[in-house]
Amino acid sequence: MSIPRVVLHKHKADAVKRFHPWIFSGAIKQTEGELREGAVVDVYSHAGEFLATGHYGTGTIAVKIFAFAPVSDLEQLFLEKLQTAYQLRQQLGLVNSPTTNCYRLINAEGDGFPGLIIDWYNGVAVMQAHSIGMYEQRSVLVRGLQHIYGAALKAVYDKSASLLFRHAASQDASRQDQYLLGESSPLEVLEFGHRFLVDWQTGQKTGFFLDQREHRALLAHYAKDQKVLNTFCYSGGFSIYALQAGARVVHSVDSSAKAVAWTKDNVALNPTTGDHAAFTDDVFTFLKDCDADYDIIVLDPPAFAKNLSARHQAVMAYKRLNQLAISKLRRGGLLFTFSCSQVVIPEYFNGAVMAAAIETGRPTRILHHLTQPADHPVSIYHPEGLYLKGLVLRVD
């Protein structure tokens, strides 16, 4: 059966020739063959030149490209891509590490799989497809994971349906989050020797925020004998690192009672002599009411903007949040502040934080510029893949 074709307008092939993996709907001149959501399509220039192969979608991004050369065997191509991703994690020292057994294996466009995330948790691969095209390749991906990991792979959990079909009326069992291979209860993982309970079924994203691993370790470098406030704490990652590093006092805050309970469980897994207290509260409210005596404050909020239309309000929210935090730091205190909103580019985020510092009138210096770790790679051809931004500030 012939593969449907997408033909681009004149001059719209340039971005594809620069290996950008997205084709927007407005770039398409015509289509040939039967198209449906998730279909594999070949992309051609207006002059009939083959350009790429990808998955078709009915949204603004009409094609997400996974190959810039003709594909003769899709399963073999995906296996090779999985092997390349695995080899990178080996190179990073994450595979078979004695102190860390959780990491990101596939980071969407950064690993040549637009619309796909796969995270590894101590023998369990958690998959989250953000496109119908990748969702339909689940069985191919499972076979590839089995080939790469062998007996080390205990289970594969697919967490795609709750994302892709959350507005669908159908409750078909095939459209539910489910195990594609084996089964597993929530389990304990290690990150730089710290113990965390991960529940991919009920937790956010795939269960744990792996992209903050290096930043948690950086916090530990500064935390000894300090009073630390970890806001939007989720399962307590920054709190555990601070306590294990010898922090005197750690406060964890989240609006979710479930997250606070999870944090307490993880603190119990990592006994220390530090004083820990967890609060279920709105972070803005907590910051307004708390004492101004923290040595370190961590701001790691959820994405304030999911699209461009929400960007301005998000920037204003980052400014208010950072202004509150800066005002609650002791002289010489540190602020670890982050944005995971992809549409809030670093310039906007840094500007919001600077505006917050100006409002407080306090001398403030940047000690570190932070971004996502190496197991969350960004294709040089797809700068949109950079989503995590962070700063460490010293406030005098």
Looking at the annotation, which residues are catalytic? Answer: 340
Convert 128-194 into a string of H (helix), E (strand) and C (coil): EECCHHHHCCHHHHHHHHHHHHHHHCCEEEECCHHHHCCCCCCCCHHHCCEEEECCCCCEEEEECCE
Other CB atoms within 10 A of residue 264 CB: 16
Q: What is the DSSP letter of 350?
A: H
Residue partners of 174: CB distance under 8 A and separation at least 6: none
Residues 93, 81: Cα–Cα separation, whole Å: 19
Asked whether the beta carbons of 62 and 6 are under 8 A apart, the reply is yes
Question: Got the DSSP string for 61-78?
Answer: EEEEEEESS--S-HHHHH
Asked whether the beta carbons of 242 and 275 are under 8 A apart, the reply is no
Task: Report helix, strand and coil shares of the chain as percent, to nearest 5.
Answer: 35, 30, 35
Encoding tokens for residue 315? 């920037």
Amino acid identity of residue 324, one-letter, is L
H-only helix segments in the chain: 14-17, 74-91, 132-135, 138-149, 161-164, 213-222, 237-244, 257-269, 283-289, 311-327, 346-360
Question: Got the DSSP string for 261-285?
Answer: HHHHHHHHHS--SSEEEEEES-HHH
Q: Of 193, 206, 279, 281, which is closest to residue 240 (Cα–Cα)?
A: 193
Amino acid identity of residue 86, one-letter, is Y
